[in-house]
Structure 1
């Protein structure tokens, strides 16, 4: 296997498609794992998610599929199915997001594969789990609706809205990657693999943190509040003389700093606004006082004054300006992966940095060499040549 990194030497059989699974396996690939992306002859659905494109390739597909090599296998074809099973038997990690019950029909279920490969870490991603929701298809938008995320996203008097990204898919992919790493650590200690099951709905409920806790622990159903925070004020966009500015006063000290910069120390001394809870209760009285002062200067001028005072604040950027901001701050957000600009892995390692070895693969780009390797009678852990 090629490359280095903390997961170098591990083989990941990636039977997943769209976002959650591919994002998980891309992160593993960034850390050095050899990832074989198994696709149907039609390819991953996201190859068709256009526009936008780069050189006729979907930028959606490109976003979550670097550091992989593709082989097209038709599981309905007996010969291809034999190769798919061989891959599963040789892998250290297998990730899929087939509907529950599908892999068992192909003798690719966990119990079936683990009988021949007991050290396998097998990660199965579904929409609604393997019990009452096993037959339900899982898509990010559907889970946002089912989980309550949409119901609390949008203006108070407006319609429920989805987030601007496939947030639940991404969070599920992150949870899956953490689970795989934990299971690999357990395997190192014990020699045993295991089955990992993660569903999008459970991942959504966990990732909604304070909002799901509001109901589970407090009996409160969160409602849409637009850009307002249910527990903090000011914490969001406020109008200035020219455009809105994000202003954060997450504690009493920050609020006092805000009042000092605005030249309104009386607002800090006002007993109605003396604590986080009181400011939250009296936000409708505090808001016009803050807006009146902010209206005297533009957003950039206020941002400079508030930032120098140590208060979190900033403009509302589009994605282009977001990347430019990260670049200006020295975060180097973009990497070139064999000619494809991509957003880098967000973690910086002092000793084992992520490696960007392969651009997102064309469909079946390594099919010939992978099929030959799988067809050969080599040892199960014989490496696949680069």
Structure 2
């Protein structure tokens, strides 16, 4: 069975998360991805831990499956030539060097376009290729702070909080996948490749969605709401007899059902709670009434009752509970494979479920330079030349 991106060749010069996450998705979809690092392995996530398994970092393993590894010194004349040869037959070049670095290496878009006019060239930077911040480095935590995400995360007591994962890296990786595949479609029409200029900052700001729209319409600076939703109520966590759970009442019909379920049908006609806008304004008063009833039953009891009455709810699960969730198991969201150094390890699977070209696990996350010899031989280099490059430190 063929895969969606089978035959697409990706030269991935990125590291850490946004770029590798993008190229892993492309690889999951069938693309032939070559991960390019400096000799010895220059992806910082190889050293980001604990935890490690036999010296291999969990962080690195999460974003690098289904790829081959080439190590090469891009600053050397021979190393640059190897990249240029690979570009001749590649479809995508992906990198996340700081603005201007690829140009200084002689590997910028215009330079590579002269080698292959169909190349799709995607750069991921902190702040983009233009603008007053273009020269600044960008890291997820900094971007979460500057983009406004931290200003709306947490509550009045906690102060600004970062999200629990590097969300701007993940979002940028997803946008990169969208942009690259859009460029493929455009290339089919025109025969021309193009440059994609992606920044973590832009992607983070785009993720503000309704919160940004609220501000642009009202002029009111959004505040940290903690467990509450800016535009909907009751849409929050509630205390139960044995813990906490989330309730997500999105319309009046669901609210009426909730009122009946807790034995407070009169709330549906209370002028404070009759519409969603009313409920948002009087959310604290409504929470007090609902939570008094909620504390009388366990999370499991409320979960059962709410599902029976089509009221959206969910328990707040820790990661160990998530990994044991039968829905996670049924959806094949956990994978395991062998690694030459780490041994057997587990990883999160792909959420992409394609009926005719399903995702497959074909390659373990590679060790630095694991495929360098094979890749260079495919370019016509002799074993003697490859050994000479190794002695010169150009490759591993």
Shorter-chain-normalised TM-score: which range? over 0.9
Residue 255 of structure 1: how far off its partner (Å): 0.8
When residues 45 and 326 of structure 1 are mapped into structure 2, their CA distance, relative to the original with a 3 A threshold, is farther
CA contact (8 A) 1:340 1:359 kept: no
CA contact (8 A) 2:87 2:115 kept: no
SS in structure 2 of the partner of residue 271 of structure 1: coil
Residues 226-235 or 85-94, more deviating = 85-94
Distance 2:87 2:345 in 1: 30
Residues 335-344 or 32-41, more deviating = 335-344
Determine if the alignment matches structure 1 residue 106 to structure 2 residue 105.
yes
CA contact (8 A) 1:235 1:249 kept: yes
Q: Deviations over 1:22-55 (max 9, x none)?
A: 0100000001100000011242100011112233
Instruction: Please give the root-mean-square deviation of Cα atoms over the aligned residues, in Å.
Output: 1.6
Determine if the alignment matches structure 1 residue 348 to structure 2 residue 353.
yes
SS in structure 1 of the partner of residue 246 of structure 2: strand
**Count of aligned positions:** 375
Could you say which residue in structure 2 is the equivalent of 1:289?
289
Distance 1:88 1:104 in 2: 15
Match for residue 23 of structure 1 among 12, 21, 24: 21
Runs of at least 5 residues in structure 2 that lack an aligned partner in the other structure = 339-343, 383-396
Match for residue 8 of structure 2 among 7, 10, 13: 10
Determine if the alignment matches structure 1 residue 363 to structure 2 residue 368.
yes
When residues 20 and 129 of structure 1 are mapped into structure 2, their CA distance, relative to the original with a 3 A threshold, is same
Determine if the alignment matches structure 1 residue 95 to structure 2 residue 100.
no
Could you say which residue in structure 1 is the equivalent of 2:148?
148
Distance 2:369 2:122 in 1: 23
Distance 2:244 2:291 in 1: 10
Distance 2:367 2:49 in 1: 16
Could you say which residue in structure 2 is the equivalent of 1:86?
85
CA contact (8 A) 2:21 2:170 kept: yes
Could you say which residue in structure 2 is the equivalent of 1:127?
126
Distance 1:171 1:218 in 2: 27
Runs of at least 5 residues in structure 1 that lack an aligned partner in the other structure = 378-386
Could you say which residue in structure 2 is the equivalent of 1:380?
none
Distance 1:88 1:221 in 2: 47
TM-score normalised according to structure 2 size: 0.91
SS in structure 2 of the partner of residue 216 of structure 1: helix
When residues 329 and 60 of structure 1 are mapped into structure 2, their CA distance, relative to the original with a 3 A threshold, is closer
Could you say which residue in structure 1 is the equivalent of 2:175?
175
SS in structure 1 of the partner of residue 223 of structure 2: coil
TM-score normalised according to structure 1 size: 0.94
Q: Deviations over 1:321-372 (max 9, x none)?
A: 1122254672121122444322111011110111211010011110111122
Residue 168 of structure 1: how far off its partner (Å): 0.5
Residue 196 of structure 1: how far off its partner (Å): 0.6
Q: Deviations over 1:106-143 (max 9, x none)?
A: 11100000011000011011101122212100100010
Residue 279 of structure 1: how far off its partner (Å): 0.3
SS in structure 2 of the partner of residue 75 of structure 1: coil
